[in-house]
A and B are shown apart, each in its own frame.
Chain A
Amino acid sequence: MKISSLLNTSGEWARNDGPHHQIVISSRVRLARNLSGYPFPGWGKKADRLEVLEVIKPEVEGLSELNDCYSEYIPDLSALEKQVLVERHLISREHAAKGVGSAVVINKRQTLSIMINEEDHLRMQVIRSGLQLKNAFKLIDKVDSGLEKRVDYAFHPELGYLTACPTNVGTGMRASAMIHLPALVLSEQINPVIQAVNKIGLAVRGLYGEGTEAMGNLFQISNQTTLGEKEEEIITQLNKVIEKIIGHEQNARQMLLQKKPGMVLDHIGRGYGILCHAYSMTSKEALNLLSFLKLGVDLGHFPEECQSAIDELFILTQPAHLQRGSKQKLAPEDRDALRAEIIRDKLKKFPKPDSSKAVTPEPPKEENHDE
């Protein structure tokens, strides 16, 4: 399959129809694996990496889960194509920067992607819409079990799967969910929540992972440790914590509507107003305002069918996606203008926010502080 056909259709996870999709955008599980007998990609010579690639790539493409896949060497991709894949979370920023000896294999639904010679020989991930950590793990586990029959993994009886960085040793697994928490941010409860999550050994990050800023009230929560627990235990614990955070976000929405309804209406109304009428908009501003529109849909201020338009805009307004839609190379200010135009166009069919149709979020559950 050609990359153009892959890039022209959005991935399954971006459709945002999974369980708890109002608050959880997507769930991801990735496994890090290395072949025994070869240096890790970062230390090996080019010849080592090419040899590893030659061993792994055909085996990966031969997996039944990757029938009809898209497979490409990283140096053969244009900078723009790589950036689009990064914006879709199909490859990491680190992988996009790799040269000769690195490749990526992605299934047609864009739920499964396998990076070859990233930081480890293999980085395999499943990304699903909504809260589906268990399903994501099931699929990646199956892929891993298929692959271990074909290649010889570096495995240590005590330390488990060996990885280039000791932070991944053991299961080599990182599970994460991208969650949308506007009410916790607005009610200034987000920092205590982040601290509590950190305290139990989970990491909270921004939109594009490590070291990135939280934009659009989007946060990534993931396990920090990989040794000493079973994969299923890690997933179950993370799932539990995320369900708690969903509860906190729902409570925060309810509280805001009761105590500061004007503030909520103001944010949604301003978001709508600016998005409908702006002629220049940075991706950061777009994400932040779209976040309030999304909240508006969740609260019933917009009809539910508006949801998909917003979800689409979250992706389409990212820099590389914008550039792709345009024939010539865009300067940042041209991009901001184009972004504003696309948003205005998309929101033409959007009705004005109507709080009279508002639905009250589920009643707050008992506050639980046992974490």
Chain B
Amino acid sequence: MTCDVCKTHPATVFLTQIVDGKMQKVNLCESCSNEKGVSDPTAFELADLLLGIGASEEVARGSSAGQRCPACGFSHSDFKKTGRLGCSVCYETFSEGLQSLVKAMHKGTRHVGKVPARLLRTLELSARTKALQRDLEQAVAEENYEAAAQLRDQLRELEAQA
């Protein structure tokens, strides 16, 4: 069995924690266990256990220490403790740190699957609005006022639909 952290040295330290009645096991080699402070179990964060070593630090990046989610009051240290987020707004609050974590965890960074039907129209509209706004800015920058006027009308039409 090799170490879960460096994946090269044989694991000699076997850490088992019971969290919420669920057993979590991590296997570490001598040097990684020292580095991670396994001799002092409190220094070893649950988020790391659940989501992979380094997860808790990842989420801390990009958010100032002590920053709290405006919607639910969740902080980075809560994530460290639980390995779970507080509410859906946390994804915005800690977006910078989460980005790299999510990237490392999944096959892609964009959802391409199912979308709730009622959001489908809104999302389509906002995507089309964004594209038109971009085109409009470009047309203005190029002083192509005829195209800009057309684009502006299209935008108004879309806004009326929304």
Contact = CB atoms under 8 A, between A and B. Distances in A.
Interface string B87-106: 11001000000100110011
A296 B107 CA distance: 41
Contacts of B108: 227-229
A366 interface: no
A158 B87 contact: no
Interface stretch (B20-28, B133-141, B145-153): B20-28
A229 B107 contact: yes
A159 B86 contact: no
Interface string A3-43: 00000000000000000000000000000001010111011
Interface stretch (B3-11, B31-39, B111-119): B111-119
Nearest to B58: A166
Contact of A211 (B22, B87, B107): B22
A44 to B, nearest CB: 8
27 contacts: A43-B82, A43-B86, A44-B72, A93-B21, A154-B88, A155-B115, A155-B119, A157-B111, A158-B109, A158-B110, A166-B51, A167-B105, A169-B106, A170-B111, A170-B113, A210-B22, A225-B105, A225-B106, A227-B102, A227-B105, A227-B106, A228-B107, A228-B109, A228-B110, A228-B111, A229-B107, A230-B113
A226 B107 CA distance: 8
A313 interface: no
B85 interface: yes
Contacts of A154: 88
Contacts of A155: 115-116, 119
B116 A159 contact: no
- Residue with the highest number of chain B CB atoms closer than 10 Å, among A165, A173, A211: A165
A210 B112 CA distance: 27
A43 B74 contact: yes
Interface of B: 20-25, 50-51, 71-72, 74, 78, 82-88, 91, 98, 101-102, 105-119, 123, 126
B22 A94 contact: yes
Contacts of A165: 50-51, 83-85
Contacts of B105: 166-167, 225, 227
A65 interface: no
B114 A231 contact: yes
A162 interface: yes
A145 B117 contact: yes
B105 to A, nearest CB: 6
Contacts of B87: 38-40, 43-44
Interface residues of A, number: 45
A165 to B, nearest CB: 5
A161 B22 CA distance: 25
Interface of A: 34, 36, 38-40, 42-44, 93-94, 97, 119, 141, 144-145, 148-149, 153-162, 164-167, 169-171, 173, 201, 210-211, 225-231
Contacts of B50: 165
A47 B79 CA distance: 22
A311 B87 CA distance: 42
B109 A227 contact: yes
Contacts of B116: 148, 153, 155
Contacts of A144: 114
Contacts of B86: 39-40, 43
- Residue with the highest number of chain B CB atoms closer than 10 Å, among A157, A159, A225: A159
A149 B119 CA distance: 11
Contacts of A210: 22
A165 B109 CA distance: 15
Contacts of A156: 88, 91, 111
A79 to B, nearest CB: 12
A336 B94 CA distance: 51
